[in-house]
Amino acid sequence: MSNFFSTPTVNSWDEPVFELTAAGIVTVVILIALLIVCSVLFLQKKVRSVRLATKQLVFSGVAMALAIVTSEIKFARLPFGGSVTLFSMLFIVLIGYWYGAAAGLMTGFAYGLLQFVLDPVFYTPLQLLVDYPLAFGALGLSGFFCNRKHGLLIGYVVGVFVRYVFAFLSGVLFFGAYASDQSPIGIIVYSLGYNATYIVPEVIVTLILLAIPAVSDAMKRVRTLARENL
């Protein structure tokens, strides 16, 4: 395993942290590529058409690219991780809303790994898994509501809520030492509050945006285009 991450160094909070080596980064990139290949094969089998599967891949790739770009537009960045971004979670939620849970979950998982590659620092392998693939993969749960009335709004709330749950668990399990009150209740309250400070503002602003009739209509038209001939 030492071939994939460096020996631990101490960060500014006196905590040991690991960084991916070149071999580790290549391994994660290969895993992302495999997820993309699996999604293509799954889509091709589902729609029985290479052309339509390619169309889904293109739409999903554009949404993921927009998520990456907007995730770098940070209105606030917290000291121990987490930031308020420009609707970045919405773009991953859209993939599930367009193509269902399987595509959404696979893309969200790959997006989480990609986010990790952009800043490949972690504390433990379990923390890495919780904070990146599982947390961002949860945004793909929107796919379970893709055919329901107000499916985008419901799917967004559910996906982000489950992401919040993973962030909360990470705070309790790995970052509770930063809570001023070290009792179990104090750590729980600390994690609930800390993670809410960057997730809730983005959720509120996004829901306000989606409630605008012109935006809602545009989202429906994009979904129709994305799913055309499926």
* Predicted confidence (pLDDT) per residue in 27-65, tens digit: 877 887 777 777 666 666 665 666 667 788 889 889 999
- Of 204, 187, 177, which Cα lies nearest the Cα of 80? 177
pTM: 0.86
pLDDT at 112: 93
pLDDT at 200: 95
- Of 112, 130, 121, which Cα lies nearest the Cα of 191? 130
Mean pLDDT of 186-203: 94
Question: Residue 211: is its pLDDT beyond 90?
Answer: yes
Question: Residue 176: is its pLDDT beyond 90?
Answer: no
* Weakest-pLDDT range from 21-25, 104-108, 175-179, 183-187: 21-25
DSSP 185: H
